Amino acid sequence: MIHRLLADAVVALHFAFILFVAAGGLLVLKWPRLMWLHLPAAGWGALIEFTGWICPLTPLENRLRVMGGEAGYPGGFIETYLTPVIYPDGLTHRHQLLLGIGVVAVNSLFYGILVRRRLKRDPRPRI
């Protein structure tokens, strides 16, 4: 029973991480110091998408499910939980590249807004 609960907690953490990667730049607009946590997370998320790697949380969840008497699943978190909603026909490498580009583009927009705000407050050049 505990393994199943832990596996569910990993899923919740994984989903929260994906949301943070995708839209954490929006939080950075409100709390700029969060950038030091978000930038590495967004970089990792984009790297996973660009390379087609499987996030380490996926094998951890699978292992916990097997230990709890359930079946694990093949593939990655996105393919198992998000693909049926986003891509009914399956996740391809091209889709992953587009997701990675989307992560970079959306967060670049947020960080561009942040930089613009900072420059408006203090237009003096910094050396």
Read off the pLDDT of residues 6-35 as tens digits, 9 standing for 90 and up.
887 888 888 889 889 988 999 999 999 999
- pLDDT, residue 69, reads 81
Supply angle C-alpha 99, 105, 106, rounded to 5.
90
- pLDDT, residue 86, reads 45
Positions of the chain with pLDDT lower than 70, given as ranges: 72-90, 123-127
- pLDDT, residue 127, reads 56
- pLDDT, residue 59, reads 86
Q: Which residues of 52-86 are buried (b: 16+ CB within 10 A; e: fewer)?
A: eeebebbeebbebbeeeeeeeeeebbbbbbebeee
pTM for this prediction? 0.71
CB atoms within 10 A of CB 18: 21
- Nearest CA to 76 out of 97, 93, 54, 91 is that of 54
